[in-house]
């Protein structure tokens, strides 16, 4: 997949399971393109362990990224990215979890995200977990999250030019060309 192809194709959606290599793949995908690169981070450090994970993730990232924090207002962060910048959103799973735990309308938040993506004129790469391959969650909240994540993933995949599923660090193109 050449940088030119990605620039021409708009939205690329990268899915995978936990620790599948999807974020690493998406970052290397973006850094193959000309700068500027904007990293939109959705994680929140609610405890010390998560704060350490976020710090390690930042330290591993190649120099040259502009980082925007968007645990809730993802559509605003996407809209605030400089025109012509390549945007990486990592990840939709954490963002949706943040939305579900706050006083937000999930459907409205998803619609705002779709509108922000449609308004982008430069390459945008989004990372998300594929949550539909495991067991049925035990709790009502777990099932509601799995269902909402599945709907969100389907909506983003529908508007993406390219969908890539990452398994054990290996990309599998589900939609679009290589």
Domain boundaries, the chain: 3-175
Average pLDDT over residues 30-48: 93
Per the prediction, the chain carries an average pLDDT of 92
Does 22 count as an annotated binding residue? yes
Q: What top-level class would CATH report for the domain 3-175?
A: alpha beta
Distance CA 70, CA 64 (A): 19
Could you give the residue numbers annotated as active site?
57
Distance CA 51, CA 44 (A): 8
Does 162 count as an annotated binding residue? no
pLDDT at position 170, please? 97
pLDDT at 10 over 50: yes
Q: How confident is residue 178, by pLDDT bands cut at 50, 70 and 90?
A: low
Does 80 count as an annotated binding residue? no
User: Any idea which of 38-42, 84-88, 132-136, 145-149 has the lowest mean pLDDT?
Assistant: 132-136
Neighbour count for residue 164 (Cβ, 10 Å): 24
Does 64 count as an annotated binding residue? no
């Amino acid at each position: 997949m050449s940088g030119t192809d990605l620039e021409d194709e708009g939205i690329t959606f990268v899915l995978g399971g936990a620790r599948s290599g999807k974020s690493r793949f998406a970052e290397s995908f973006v850094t193959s393109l000309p700068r500027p690169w904007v990293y939109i981070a959705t994680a929140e450090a609610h405890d010390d362990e998560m704060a350490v994970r976020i710090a390690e993730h930042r330290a591993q990232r190649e120099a040259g990224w502009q980082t925007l924090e968007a645990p809730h207002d993802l559509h605003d962060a996407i809209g605030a990215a400089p025109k012509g910048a390549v945007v990486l959103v990592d990840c939709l799973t954490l963002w949706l979890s943040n939305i579900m735990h706050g006083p937000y309308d999930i459907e409205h938040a998803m619609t705002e995200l779709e509108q922000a993506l449609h308004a982008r004129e430069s390459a945008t790469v989004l990372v998300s977990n594929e949550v539909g391959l495991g067991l049925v969650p035990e709790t009502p909240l777990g099932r509601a999250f799995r269902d909402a994540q599945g709907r969100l993933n389907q909506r983003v995949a529908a508007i993406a030019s390219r969908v890539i599923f990452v398994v054990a660090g290996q990309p599998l193109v589900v939609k679009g060309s290589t």
